[in-house]
Amino acid sequence: QKEVEQNSGPLSVPEGAIASLNCTYSDRGSQSFFWYRQYSGKSPELIMSIYSNGDKEDGRFTAQLNKASQYVSLLIRDSQPSDSATYLCAVILSGGYNKLIFGAGTRLAVHP
């Protein structure tokens, strides 16, 4: 079992819709979770972090964390073509130093 798993996609949504991106992780003790966006040929850009169960909102983005289910998700409201990118879920495992473990990423395509 991979430490962090994401559906590779592509996830295709129409402009203006809600995009839902999901991520599961294997280390039950993990406490820190991050979503990064990566445009083709570019480096990852931090969208948001989440540490507590529940929802965390930042503009059009909402991260959701459920530690009991070992599940973290990212919702993008009012999706725009400029949101088309690969979304990377990253987790810091328990008991170690500040090392990010990434999923393979989900490719999102927002079509007009």
* Class of residue 87 by CB neighbours under 10 A (exposed 0-12, middle 13-18, buried 19+): buried
- The piece of 11-19, 30-38, 58-66, 68-76 that touches other proteins (CB under 8 A) is 30-38
**Least separation, in Å, of the C-beta of 96 and other proteins?**
7
Tokens of 90: 């990253």
Amino acid in the structure at residue 102: F
Q: CA-to-CA distance for 74 and 72, rounded, in angstroms?
A: 7
**Least separation, in Å, of the C-beta of 104 and other proteins?**
5
Q: Which residue among 29, 69, 82, 97 contacts other proteins (CB under 8 A)?
A: 97
Tokens of 6: 């994401």
- Please give the residue ranges that form the binding site for other proteins (CB under 8 A): 4, 32, 34, 36, 42-46, 49, 88, 90, 92, 96-105
